[in-house]
A and B are shown apart, each in its own frame.
Chain A
Amino acid sequence: MLNSNAPRDRPRGAVILLCALAFFLGAPARADEVQEAQKLLKAGQSQQALERVNRALAANPKDPQARFLKGLIFTEQGKQTEAIEIFTKLTQDYPNLPEPYNNLAVIYASQGQYDKARAALEQSIRTHPSYATAYENLGDVYAKLASQAYGKALQLDASNTGAQNKLSLVRELVREPGIKPAAVAAAATPKEAPKEPAKPPVVAQKSPEKPAAAEKPAADARAEVLKTVNAWAQAWSKKDADAYLAHYAKDFKTPGGEARADWEKGRRSRIGAPKSISVGVESAKVTMRSPQQASVSFRQTYRSDKLSTKSRKTLELVKADGRWFIKEEKAGK
């Protein structure tokens, strides 16, 4: 049933494909601008990102990538009305792009308009029957609608009747009609791409919706934090300095107060020196200081061909862009 629209859309899709290709081939400088804006947004500088995007749009007002990014910026800035307007217009101009539907749905869901969210996601899946993010989001919307129905059945506050779910916003318009997703994916997340090549190129990010974030069970957040710490220990054990350092926040408080670059240099040489390293994390205890701040105390076992130690360690982590980063590293309790 969901597939039925696909063949009918193809001719129109082909036309858009040509246009899209023309954009990409003909205006590489503008594409760079959009990429730059994307990076700014990722770094949390949404206002600067908006300025870049507006510059790109001034040159080419119809560009779907730039419009999509602008919608995303508005979403992250909490300007839902503006974001809805942009994504809606995109669905009208490019009816077989799934991403704008998906992001519309995320905004509708954050407003509690689950029926609208459902309609948008079903549309998104109709355009791309294999679109995983929309499926996941639709599952969450169904769960939400179910919870509302249970609320009516049992005369309860709907928030009591079902699990809380967050929907994933799609961050990048990777599926220009007809363009192989991989072609764009390379530019999307260079760091993660080699690590998980099997992962779909859609980088899903947590919804910016504040209340939902607060409602998310703390247990899930704890698991996330612990996962980060284990990944950090693993990167260290693999002597993968890039991956190891990527776990540290931009404003990481270096132990001796030295400059970040100096500290990084020191760490790289330390990690590079031994032939093998094995770092273990034992009896970890996670304390959530806030939904965006956590503290993890554990027993660290470090073993290399040169040295073997056991020590207590505490990591202070902060959440940014949906990921946890180490902000401070303390020896002892």
Chain B
Amino acid sequence: MRRLAILVLALCFVSASAAATPEDRLSTVFEAIEANKLDVALKRVDALIGDYPNFRLAHLVRGDLLLARARPLQTFGNVVKTVPQERVDGLREEALARLRAARQRPGEDRLPRYVLQLNPEQKHALVVDSRRSRLYVYANDGGKPKLIADYYVTLGKNGIDKTREGDQKTPVGVYHVTANLPRKKLTDFYGAGAFPINYPNEWDRRQGRNGHGIWLHGVPSDVYSRPPRASDGCIVLANPDLESLGQRLQIGLTPVIIADEIEWTDRAALESERAGLAAALEQWRADWQSRDTERYLAHYSQRFASQGQDYAAWAAHKRKVNAAKAWIKVGLGRVTMLRYPHERDVVVVTFEQDYRSNGLSNVMKKRQYWVKEGARWKIVYEGAA
């Protein structure tokens, strides 16, 4: 009986240590260093390198631990000055990013301001913090986000706010994954696979941004990870991380929100914002259905633009169409509401629209961009999604 208990305990321990990610293990190496147990730290990093021989940052830490036995260290990554400093700097930044993320994981009631509402089909949403080089995975817990995983990521060499093709920056905005490119269709450079996102989206085009080919992807087989700023704009994850993330992604559905520095909020504030916007959306639906076209058009901003139509053209068209209707019924379903990072109150709303009227009925997936003008939410873009 007692032997069994010990066995169970041992198994628990084995499975717990097997579940530890390389990053967690690196973190325990630093813990040992801080506790001045350098022998323990060296053993841990040796074991880590044994399992992940391409983890360059672990080699750097190992180098320091060995050198510390020979002479006092001057700095982290104590290599001689003749080596290309940008390579050392890249690893130092990776170490900082990984440590900071591991030690400053957001608490239970700290949520990104962006994920206002997920529809029931969306199982997850991804939120990237560029300053932290971190990707957070939120599960859809009854429409509300819940943090379940986070990963170190590499972003564009020149940072964020992509505007031009070839600027080697990562875009900031609200996107979703559009395809799954399996490993066998790609070169080794992309590692375990790739998931393109829909940059440039409607909002980017409206701002005149261009470029293409922003993907989530893995790393070449000769590395475990890459420095924080190294890609041409893509979001790059370690191959094991990409594999586990990939299992959660739904093509065309999973949102990818990229922020410079995530704006955090609490659950109550998030819910109040969500409710305010949901009410505006419901009013828009009801006013459309009422065939009171002026009330309906009052939901649109003067800055509205869509498919070459400005507000005046859009209003004229809607007045003409609605006047011909004896009745209209509008149903909305599967509503997603995602706030745009670093914009003043811009929310991307996506839903399934069930439109019926005398003469025309259709069901479509629609996307609107709502902005707050004064105290009121208004639509600046509307189109098929």
Q: Which residue of B lies closest to A140 (CB)?
A: B70
Given contacts A149-B59, A149-B60, A155-B87, contact A143 B70 (CB under 8 A): yes
Contact partner, A149, options B39, B66, B83, B87, Cβ 8 Å: B66
* A150 & B59 in contact (Cβ 8 Å cutoff): yes
Bound form: Cα–Cα A239–B69 in Å: 44
- Interfacial chain A residues near B80, Cβ < 8 Å: 160-163
Q: Answer yes or no: B64 CB below 8 A from chain A CBs.
A: yes
* A153 & B69 in contact (Cβ 8 Å cutoff): no
Bound form: Cα–Cα A155–B220 in Å: 14
How many interface residues does A have (CB within 8 Å)?
Answer: 21
Residue in B56, B59, B88 with the greatest tally of chain A CB atoms within 10 Å: B59
Bound form: Cα–Cα A269–B70 in Å: 49
Bound form: Cα–Cα A132–B77 in Å: 28
- Interfacial chain B residues near A143, Cβ < 8 Å: 66-67, 70-71
* A154 & B62 in contact (Cβ 8 Å cutoff): no
- Interfacial chain A residues near B82, Cβ < 8 Å: 160
- Interfacial chain B residues near A119, Cβ < 8 Å: none
Bound form: Cα–Cα A292–B68 in Å: 33
* B56 & A156 in contact (Cβ 8 Å cutoff): no
- Interfacial chain A residues near B87, Cβ < 8 Å: 154-156
Q: Which residue of B lies closest to A143 (CB)?
A: B70
- What is the distance, in angstroms, from A252's C-beta to the closest C-beta of chain B? 39
- Interfacial chain A residues near B60, Cβ < 8 Å: 149-150, 153-154
- What is the distance, in angstroms, from B329's C-beta to the closest C-beta of chain A? 64
Given contacts A150-B79, A154-B79, A160-B82, contact A138 B69 (CB under 8 A): yes
Q: Which residue of A lies closest to B88 (CB)?
A: A154
Q: Answer yes or no: A243 CB below 8 A from chain B CBs.
A: no
- Interfacial chain B residues near A1, Cβ < 8 Å: 39
Given contacts A152-B59, A153-B59, contact A142 B67 (CB under 8 A): yes
How many interface residues does B have (CB within 8 Å)?
Answer: 25
Q: Answer yes or no: B237 CB below 8 A from chain A CBs.
A: no
Within 8 A of B (CB), among A120-140: 138-140
Mask: chain A, 77-109; 1 = CB below 8 Å from B; 0 = not: 000000000000000000000000000000000
- Interfacial chain A residues near B63, Cβ < 8 Å: 145-150, 153, 161
- What is the distance, in angstroms, from A141's C-beta to the closest C-beta of chain B? 8
Given contacts A150-B79, A150-B83, A160-B82, contact A155 B67 (CB under 8 A): no
Q: Which residue of A lies closest to B62 (CB)?
A: A149
Bound form: Cα–Cα A163–B82 in Å: 11
- What is the distance, in angstroms, from B95's C-beta to the closest C-beta of chain A? 11
* B79 & A161 in contact (Cβ 8 Å cutoff): yes
* B83 & A156 in contact (Cβ 8 Å cutoff): yes
* A142 & B83 in contact (Cβ 8 Å cutoff): no
Q: Answer yes or no: B91 CB below 8 A from chain A CBs.
A: yes
Q: Answer yes or no: B57 CB below 8 A from chain A CBs.
A: yes
* B83 & A154 in contact (Cβ 8 Å cutoff): yes
- Interfacial chain B residues near A161, Cβ < 8 Å: 63, 79-80, 83
Bound form: Cα–Cα A161–B62 in Å: 14
Given contacts A150-B79, A154-B79, contact A145 B56 (CB under 8 A): no
* B56 & A139 in contact (Cβ 8 Å cutoff): no
Residue in B57, B69, B77 with the greatest tally of chain A CB atoms within 10 Å: B69
Interface residues in chain A, defined as those with a beta carbon under 8 Å from any beta carbon in chain B:
1, 138-140, 142-143, 145-150, 152-156, 160-163
Which 7 A-B pairs rank lowest in CB-CB distance, beginning with the nearest?
A149-B63, A146-B67, A153-B60, A153-B59, A146-B66, A143-B70, A139-B70
